[in-house]
Amino acid sequence: MEITNVTEYEAIAKQKLPKMVFDYYASGAEDQWTLEENRNAFSRILFRPRILIDVSKIDLSTTVLGFKISMPIMIAPTAMQKMAHPEGEYATARAASAAGTIMTLSSWATSSVEEVASTGPGIRFFQLYVYKDRNVVAQLVRRAEKAGFKAIALTVDTPRLGRREADIKNRFTLPPFLALKNFEGLDLGKMDEASDSGLASYVAGQIDRTLSWKDVQWLQTITKLPILVKGVLTAEDARLSVQAGAAGIIVSNHGARQLDYVPATISALEEVVKAAQGRVPVFLDGGVRRGTDVFKALALGASGIFIGRPVVFSLAAEGEVGVRKVLQMLREEFELTMALSGCRSLKEITRDHIVTDWDIPRTQPRISPRL
């Protein structure tokens, strides 16, 4: 069966992967309301396309933190990709590079920063979890910098791991033949079996719950790399991110895997963009499955989007080829959406190209008062 859209990879991944692995990738926190809402919220945003515009030439390229990329579609950090496919993060890195876009490597990758760098040229960001032992953090940041990574995406929504009930039921743990490669030499590369989720126990033991804004500033003292604050959902935290010296903000609810009943990222995006006041770029991850979703995010002020689950599902289905296809399909859909909306470049995508359910109706019915 020919795959014609990104979503179709999920069913193939479900067939191919062990239940514990598929559930780990696919599930969200608790009732999974936000997991569904991340998708549903996109479907409530409608287009206001402009017609009779010459769209024979369309430019999708953009710059992110000064790096030129082919399109505003990038790869989000997803952990333990070798559970999906033997080539794991290597395949993802090659696919991103071939598409001319950015890959973000997870702290909890099953390939190290050095191994991913060895796949060849490419613009790569490193997602960072802050461990209780700050020497571990400093060492990891230095290694990422040395391996040519261009930015740090600091995850700020995980002082504790969200309650992911599938992982509890499955007693999720990293398969014994794999390791969290970035931590292997530090005796932090393995996950113990636990009476609930092995990952939840690992986080409880290793990740620093005291993480605060002063640590965002501390991070800037140990690295010259720009820092993206990943996990912002409110105007208040957007303003604090800018004040703390962040180079950018990623509006993220961690793929709906942390606090359930937070809004969809596409619903929180505009509030964050307005609060950032153009001082730093704002990006989005969570729920992007179509080129139309990319357009909607940009119309609401995002500078680009990141995809997570589509990468691991396509990786499970077809390895590097699958990830390449996902990036290509999203690119083609996004380009078509631009053409049909009358936009020839990213700067032509405006707020007027969409209507949301929180917009004030554009035409107020004129009811003459009866005396």
CATH number of 6-41+62-333, picked from 3.30.450.20, 3.40.50.300, 3.30.1050.10, 3.20.20.70: 3.20.20.70
Residue 278 sits at the vertex; the CA angle it makes with 246 and 248, to the nearest 5 degrees, is 25
Alpha carbon of 219 to those of 17, 78, 107, 223: distances in Å?
Answer: 37, 22, 15, 6
Supply 81's token pair. 């990709």
pLDDT digits (tens, 9 = 90+) for 172-200: 999 999 999 998 877 675 666 666 777 77
pLDDT at 203: 72
Question: Amino acid identity, residue 339?
Answer: A
Domain map (residue ranges) of the chain: 6-41+62-333
Q: What is the pLDDT along the chain (371 residues), one digit of tens a residue?
A: 899 999 999 999 999 999 999 999 999 999 999 999 999 999 999 999 999 999 999 999 999 999 999 999 999 999 999 999 999 999 999 999 999 999 999 999 999 999 999 999 999 999 999 998 999 999 999 999 999 999 999 999 999 999 999 999 999 999 999 999 998 877 675 666 666 777 778 877 888 899 999 999 999 999 999 999 999 999 999 999 999 999 999 999 999 999 999 999 999 999 999 999 999 999 999 999 999 999 999 999 999 999 999 999 999 999 999 999 999 999 999 999 999 999 999 999 999 999 999 998 765 555 555 65
pLDDT of residue 206: 84
**Residue that is written with structure tokens 């945003």 in the block:** 45
Residue 362 is predicted with a pLDDT of 63
Residue 109 is predicted with a pLDDT of 96
The predicted pLDDT at position 1 comes to 83
Task: Please answer whether residues 179 and 110 qualify as being in contact, where contact means their C-beta atoms are separated by less than 8 angstroms.
Answer: yes
> Which pair of structure tokens corresponds to residue 224?
């010259």
Q: Indicate the SS3 state at residue 151.
A: strand
Q: Contact 126/152 with Cβ under 8 angstroms?
A: yes
- Residue burial 78-91, b: 16+ Cβ < 10 Å; e: rest: bbbbbbbbebbbbb
What are the pLDDT digits (tens) for 248-298? 999 999 999 999 999 999 999 999 999 999 999 999 999 999 999 999 999
> Can you give the pLDDT at residue 368?
54
For residue 250, what are the β-bridge partners?
Answer: 230, 283
Q: pTM for this one?
A: 0.95
Measure the CA–CA gap between 319 and 27, rounded to whole angstroms: 21
The residues annotated with a catalytic role in the active site are 254
Task: Tell me what pLDDT residue 185 has.
Answer: 76
